[in-house]
Amino acid sequence: MQGPAVFMDISLEDQALELRKYFKSLGAEIAEEKSPKGIEDDLHKIVGVCDVCFKEQNESEIEAILNSIVSIMVSIPLERGENLIVAFSQRLSKAPGPKLGVVVVQSLWRLYNNLEPNSPLRYHVYYHVIELAARVGYVREVFTGVEQLRKEFAGCPPSNEQMQKLYRLLHQVLKDQNSELAAKVMIELLGTYTDENASYAREDAIKCIATALADPNTFLLDPLLSLKPVRFLEGELIHDLLTIFVSEKLSSYLKFYNSHKEFVHSQGLNHEQNVKKMRILSFMQMAESNPEITYDEIISELQIEEKDVEAFIIEVLKTRLVRARMDQAERAVRVSHTMHRTFDRAQWQTLRDVLLAWRANVHSAHDAMKSVAAAQIEYSTQNQKA
């Protein structure tokens, strides 16, 4: 969502005067006269009553008034910019109904886009845009991903504490709408902690793990174990549960669940969904070392009925984590490729061997081509002499 530049063809002082008169006509407690303290004080007074415009029935009129306020904001140096933006956002949050909610988000977004790229106020505006957008289901129009977020603040990076606050807000508003993106945001949040302060991120780390486990599209969980705040949870139940999802099989999860049912549910996790995910993860682990898996092995390891085997395999193939085909006559699944659940030293060694073999093959092909080219040149030379 991009907001157009805001321009007005009258002076800022006249604009402020017109706004004062307008709000006064709607019954706002504001004087019509300009402030002797200057335009910034005028702006503070106007912002203090700006929500009165919601009495208007015309959305276009409201948008024009808010844009007029924004045009003053981006045209003057704001000594108390953060307080003013907070006050403006709080007033805009009073917009009744989703249609007006979208109007105020767009107005605040115009303010954001008209601030200088190196302005520290951009962070505060962006934070309140997300807050307001969440109330009207408009977050994805503003936030598309963590890479985009980094670009937004490249000109004036916020402090670590500010980014942590923003990541928490984004996770909160995304977790019920897009669990996969929420998990990525939480991983970014945990990445902001260092060895010195990782112990303070306990709650964030627990939320990160629970979000990743609950996401039906997240299967590769091994990277979470390397995050410093997650390492501080070693020995706790949530870390034990994560370890099961990273490298163990369905039977281990069922044993854990039978011993800690209340804990699993207290984390907002659904047991049936956990079982479904663990079956897929367990099948991936079986496929890593066995290119042919019989139906009987699937029934035994994954504790499903024979009539459900083929439907389960179809679900696995939909994830694209495994490539395989079913041989119904032989009652077996033939695996051609599977994603590894973990990527440790053994996997790196395998990758290294594959790359070395590939390089050797490229060199051989190159040498062969050189030989062919040399033979062709020699043949041409001989024909010319003849």
Mean pLDDT by 10 residues, the chain (386 residues): 50 88 91 88 91 87 91 78 83 85 91 88 91 89 91 91 94 85 89 83 90 88 89 94 95 97 95 96 92 95 94 93 92 91 57 62 70 70 65
Q: Please, which residues have CB within 8 angstroms of residue 80's CB and are 6 or more apart in sequence?
A: 40, 44
Beta 332-338 vs 292-294: how paired, if at all?
A: antiparallel
Contact in structure between 71 and 15 (CB atoms under 8 Å):
yes
The separation between the first and the last C-alpha atoms of the chain, rounded to the nearest angstrom, is 74
* Nearest partner of 205 among 256, 260, 167, 157, judged by Cα: 167
Task: Please report where in the chains the tokens 């008034």 appear, as a residue.
Answer: 65
Note the pLDDT of residue 9. 64
User: Distance between CA atoms of 97 and 106, rounded to whole angstroms?
Assistant: 15
Note the pLDDT of residue 352. 57
User: Distance between CA atoms of 38 and 73, rounded to whole angstroms?
Assistant: 13
User: Distance between CA atoms of 49 and 371, rounded to whole angstroms?
Assistant: 84
Note the pLDDT of residue 7. 42
* Nearest partner of 41 among 90, 78, 85, 92, judged by Cα: 78
Note the pLDDT of residue 247. 92
Note the pLDDT of residue 82. 78
Q: What is the 3-state secondary structure (H, E, C) of the chain?
A: CCCCCCCCCCCHHHHHHHHHHHHHHCCCCCCCCCCCCCHHHHHHHHHCCHHHHHHCCCHHHHHHHHHHHHHHHCCCCCCCHHHHHHHHHHHHCCCCCHHHHHHHHHHHHHHHHHCCCCCCHHHHHHHHHHHHHHHCCCHHHHCCCHHHHHHHCCCCCCCHHHHHHHHHHHHHHHCCCCHHHHHHHHHHHHHCCCCCCHHHHHHHHHHHHHHHHHCCCCCCCHHHHHCHHHHCCCCCHHHHHHHHHHHCCHHHHHHHHHHCHHHHHHCCCCHHHHHHHHHHHHHHHHHHHCCEEEHHHHHHHHCCCHHHHHHHHHHHHHCCCEEEEEECCCCEEEEEEECCCCCCHHHHHHHHHHHHHHHHHHHHHHHHHHHHHHHHHHHHHHHHHC
Q: Please, which residues have CB within 8 angstroms of residue 351's CB and are 6 or more apart in sequence?
A: none
Note the pLDDT of residue 360. 66
Q: Which two tokens stand for residue 111?
A: 């303010």
User: Distance between CA atoms of 295 and 328, rounded to whole angstroms?
Assistant: 9
Residue 320 backbone zone (phi > 0: left; psi -120 to 50: alpha; other: beta): left
pTM exceeding 0.85: no
